[in-house]
A and B are shown apart, each in its own frame.
Chain A
Amino acid sequence: MNYILHILIMINIYLILSLSLNLIVGYTGLLSIAHAAFYGIGAYITTLLMMNMGLNFFIALFITIPVVMLVSLLVSFPSLRLKGDYFVLATIAFQVIVFSILYNWISLTRGPYGIPGINRPVLLGFKFDSLPSYFFLSLFFVIIVGLLFKLLYKSPFGRVLKAIREDEISAKAMGKNVDSLKIWSCLIGCGIASISGALYAGYVTYIDPTSFTLMESVFILSIVLVGGSGNFRGPIIGTIFMVILPEILRFLGLPDSIAPNVRQMIYGALLIILMKYRPQGLAGEYRFE
């Protein structure tokens, strides 16, 4: 039972990541490989506010979101000038820089040692200490975030983002302020990703930079691509599939020495097969070409 609850909590954390990345990738058409950076910055800022200033988890999160939104400008500004592959490279650079800072700013982040002993969230005297309570806490955030994106995807805002994805020039000729809309998309997408970071830190009670690497960004992106981008159900199906898949592989009884490698190979093969036969993902609308 605890095992299943653990998986459900991880699904909730990744749902928030994939739904938020979907706004940037699937709607706005900006292929970002920096989502784990925002996930990590969210985790670290919330943790540091809790540990160093003694703030409550929820207050710390409330401060973290706008700060991460501001940091997202570092990714959205390049998106105004760089097209296609060049933007992808810029996001990879950002991801690598964030990882280096987390790894090397030892006086603040303790670098590779990580930060242990993070408190579980407390709300009105109730401590989310047990697995079921943490599951419901993460579920609560998923529902809020899910509703937010359900509304945004369907709104005129979501539609104009799709127009930018389809044809930026045409959108400009129609009077759409493409630059400001791209910035909005990144502000919201990255700001929401920080919620996942806080939830992860509060759940695992220990964070270190290796949870927020480039590989993690690639993993979040592959959730969106495997599930399918540009609609609501794609990222949900992708998250469930990609989080459960390694757990199923666990039951294959592979020797520990090769299991992680086999897992990576299966991911790679899966992406290639999807790209060839189903470029829009399992349930998506938009395909990258």
Chain B
Amino acid sequence: MNNIILKIYNATKSYNGTKAVNGVSMNFSKGKITSIIGPNRAGKTTLFNLINGFLKLNDGKIYYNGERIDHFPAWKIARLGIGRIFQDIRVFNKITALENVLLANKDQPGENPIVSLFLRKKTLGKESVNIEDAKKWLKFVNLSDKEDSLAENLSYGQQKLLSISRLLAGGYDLLLLDEPTAGVHPSLAKTILHVIKNMVEEGKTAVVIEHDMKIIAEISDFVYFMHEGKVTFSGTPETVLKNSKVKEAYIGV
């Protein structure tokens, strides 16, 4: 079973006595797009926070590439290769778009002040390589003309694209995508989905939280349906979307 990149076993997390995530076990296959669906407050975003280390499990285990990661701090988990985009985007507002992407690059030892001061040649050398790389990713999402704009001056859709180019520049293997197309123009949503599919074709793995049934059917290889902190159903998109429990939860009783 070495095509499983991320394995969640019996994950449990409670807030003030209510179990937001309750005994969830999931497997994510390498090179696939797995969707997590479910009504609001089903525990989907909490699950993402557990995977990337923002929250600590009350019980259970999380393995990434066979290594147990649930006790690691968030920055270390990111360095292992798990990248994330947020539902509320979270770009660095008062920093230019180019710097936003540069920051995503994990290969800049000059982020340590001692290296920055005393190994200037190394830092500057890396910097020029990284700038080329960052420009490439901005071009990839059609933001080349916004390089020097502060992120806060970009439109909502452009900020979304910026967060995706940061994800690309980060060189992650596993991508946690929290509603990547929510709130954007349909044509932009199409572009974003196209980018996601491209990344997965290049060997990356994606986990997507999504509400739009059409999108789920279009992109997913496998779907988990969560309800009240538990996985209540899973399978291929066709079987999950036909399931009566899923329909009930989405359309409402």
Contacts and interface: CB of A to CB of B under 8 A. Distances in A.
Interface of A: 148, 151-152, 155-157, 159-160, 162-163, 165-167, 169-178, 181, 184, 188, 230, 285-286
Interface string B79-112: 1000110100011111100010011101010111
Given A159-B102, A162-B95, A151 B75 contact: no
B22 interface: no
B52 interface: yes
A166 B116 contact: no
Given A148-B117, A156-B108, A157-B116, A170 B92 contact: yes
Given A152-B117, A159-B103, A173 B78 contact: yes
Contact of A163 (B76, B103, B110, B116): B103
B123 interface: yes
B111 A157 contact: yes
A170 B94 contact: no
B108 A163 contact: no
Given A162-B92, A170-B90, A172-B74, A156 B54 contact: no
Contact of B116 (A152, A169, A178): A152
Interface of B: 52-54, 73-76, 78-79, 83-84, 86, 90-95, 99, 102-104, 106, 108, 110-113, 116-117, 120, 123, 127, 166, 170
Contact of B92 (A152, A155, A167, A230): A167
Contacts of A162: 92, 94-95, 99
Top 5 A-B pairs, shortest CB-CB distance: A175-B78, A166-B92, A155-B116, A156-B110, A170-B90
Nearest to B104: A174
A157 B75 CA distance: 16
Given A157-B116, A159-B103, A176 B111 contact: yes
B91 A156 contact: no
User: Could you say which of B52, B76, B112 has the most chain A C-beta atoms within 10 Å of its C-beta?
Assistant: B112
22 contacts: A151-B120, A156-B110, A156-B116, A156-B127, A157-B111, A157-B112, A159-B95, A162-B95, A163-B92, A163-B95, A167-B92, A169-B54, A170-B91, A170-B92, A173-B83, A175-B76, A175-B106, A175-B170, A176-B75, A176-B103, A177-B76, A184-B112
Contacts of B106: 174-175
Contacts of A156: 102, 108, 110-111, 116, 123, 127
A173 B84 contact: yes
Contacts of A163: 92, 95, 103
Contacts of A171: 92, 103
Contacts of B53: 172
Nearest to B52: A173
A166 B93 contact: yes
A263 to B, nearest CB: 33
Contact of B95 (A152, A157, A166): A166
B94 A166 contact: yes
A193 to B, nearest CB: 16
B86 A170 contact: yes
Contacts of A285: 94
Contacts of A151: 116-117, 120
A230 B150 CA distance: 14
A241 to B, nearest CB: 23
Nearest to A287: B94
A188 B14 CA distance: 40
Contacts of B52: 173
A175 B113 contact: no
A173 B92 contact: no
Contacts of B116: 151-152, 155-157
A188 B78 CA distance: 27
B103 A160 contact: yes
Given A156-B110, A165-B94, A188-B113, 18 more contacts: A148-B117, A152-B113, A156-B116, A159-B103, A159-B111, A160-B111, A162-B94, A166-B92, A166-B93, A167-B91, A172-B73, A172-B75, A173-B84, A173-B86, A173-B90, A174-B106, A175-B78, A184-B113
Contacts of B90: 167, 169-170, 173
Contacts of B113: 152, 155, 157, 184, 188
B126 to A, nearest CB: 8
